[in-house]
Structure 1
Amino acid sequence: MGGLTYIDFLAKFGIGGAHPGGFGLTKYILSKENITNNSWVLDAGCGTGQTAAYIYEQYKAKVFGLDINPIMLEKAATRFKNLNFPIQLIQGSVEQIPFEDHTFDYVLSESVLAFVNKPKALKEFYRVLKKGGRLIANEMTLNSVLNKFEEQEIKNFYNVDSLYLEKDWITLLQDTGFQSINVSSQQVDFLYGNNKQEFNFSPNFEPELFEVLNKHGHMLIKYHNILSHRIFTCTK
């Protein structure tokens, strides 16, 4: 596939709500929190800005979007400009967040931790959260242990360094210092209508990216009983 990755595919296709459960699940999760117009929210790995825009529109919170991918940031910037939303975008890594300690009331991570150094990123999330601040994470989670071949196949395709079971995530969150850890695996798209997948295609994208899309579909079918997700909510 010419070195093109799953992240390249997401960026060039401009997919909003690519995380497990989709945009409907995002809205449902956020509705369970106490976000207000006084809340400072970091959308860590904001992608094309679909969730960040929703948070501002729905709650009028002070929203910041952080992403390392310039293509996604450009699409997010265009979205916010067209909507006239005062959302600040920052290019940077979740492993080294360019904000002071105790800045945010909420950190949101949607299918981001899976692709980075998990302990390092979680320590950064913990650092930038205020005391009592909330982490909301929707992340790839294995339902059962894989054999070595299966594990390597998934790691290679998604370019991830590790695959976690639910208990592994909980242990890591506890080790980071998070408390009141709640775990769920809801699929609630049907509760929130009009959640068709959003695309924002780049003008020039490689035909090979369709191969990545096909392979992604193949992986989802092959590992549909094993490759899942969990929603983790916890407090600093």
Structure 2
Amino acid sequence: MGGLTYIDFLAKFGVGGAHPGGIGLTKSILAEENITNECTILDAGCGTGQTAAYLFDQYKAKITCLELNPIMIEKAKNRFLSLQYPIQLIQGSVEEIPFQDDSFDFILCESVLAFVNKPKALKEFNRVLKPGGRLLANEMTINSKLNKQAEEEIVQFYNIDSLLLESDWVQLFEECGFTDIEIKSLHLNLMDNSSAQEFNFSQNFEPELFSILNQHGNMLVKYHDILSHRIFSCSK
């Protein structure tokens, strides 16, 4: 059993809107899309369900959530139950999505691809999207190449397999069958999460998780000019 990871911290602290820009940025991304109550939407890697709850509240769309982490699943389930929202919640991986081809009008993916096998997940997204369907992704992106040591440090801390430049992401989306790729860089400072983050603490959490929170803060300070994010919107 390895040590605790950044994902463990997010799960145990029940961080809602952990992605760059938080729920505030999510709302502005969604406002630019043509979402109606007829739309089927997959929140891929839904975390504690903050975005999915907003989607239902705002659009009354047909929302399905996919999440692998059992602690996050529990917190999302409790959220939807307390709100009495009819959101389908499924435990599973974005690398093997348990849905038929052409199932969704939209897939929303917020800081998920960085932590998984990217080509595998993107091919799955393409498969389950309807023709003309839209993928909206807010993902960690580096502004410039890093030296080997710095790259190692970031990759190891976040437990990810690679760091991608904007051009790497675009190439990957294209290779996985996506078109009309638009990129938004809102130049948000990752350290400035203007919409306050939401926390839903687990009853038992390990004290070491505080040091992970600390390290995360240190990473953002140390690499503030390199570590960034982009919002990609594209079509099938």
The residue that corresponds to 2:106 in the other structure is: 106
The residue that corresponds to 2:165 in the other structure is: 165
Whether 1:21 aligns to 2:21 is yes
* Aligned residue type for 1:104: F
Structure 2 unmatched runs, 5+: none
1:14-67 per-position Cα deviation (integer Å, ceiling 9, x unaligned): 000000111100000000000100000000000000000000000000000100
CA distance in 1, matches of 2:77, 2:185: 31
* 1:28–1:188 contact (8 Å) kept in structure 2: no
* 2:40–2:61 contact (8 Å) kept in structure 1: yes
The residue that corresponds to 1:152 in the other structure is: 152
How large is the RMSD of aligned CA atoms in angstroms?
Answer: 1.4
The residue that corresponds to 1:92 in the other structure is: 92
* 1:25–1:188 contact (8 Å) kept in structure 2: no
The residue that corresponds to 2:212 in the other structure is: 212
Count the aligned residue pairs: 232
TM score, norm. by length of structure 2? 0.96
The residue that corresponds to 2:121 in the other structure is: 121
CA shift for structure 1 position 188: 7.1
SS of corresponding position for 1:151: helix
The residue that corresponds to 1:195 in the other structure is: 195
CA shift for structure 1 position 195: 2.5
CA distance in 1, matches of 2:41, 2:141: 24
Rate the CA distance shift 1:187–1:145 in 2: closer, same or farther, 3 A: closer
* Aligned residue type for 1:45: G
CA shift for structure 1 position 186: 1.3
SS of corresponding position for 2:162: coil
CA distance in 2, matches of 1:101, 1:200: 35
State the 4+ residue runs in structure 1 displaced beyond 4 angstroms. none
SS of corresponding position for 1:231: strand
* 1:25–1:187 contact (8 Å) kept in structure 2: no
CA distance in 2, matches of 1:195, 1:41: 24
The residue that corresponds to 1:67 in the other structure is: 67
CA shift for structure 1 position 146: 0.2
CA distance in 2, matches of 1:146, 1:187: 19
CA distance in 2, matches of 1:187, 1:58: 26
TM score, norm. by length of structure 1? 0.96
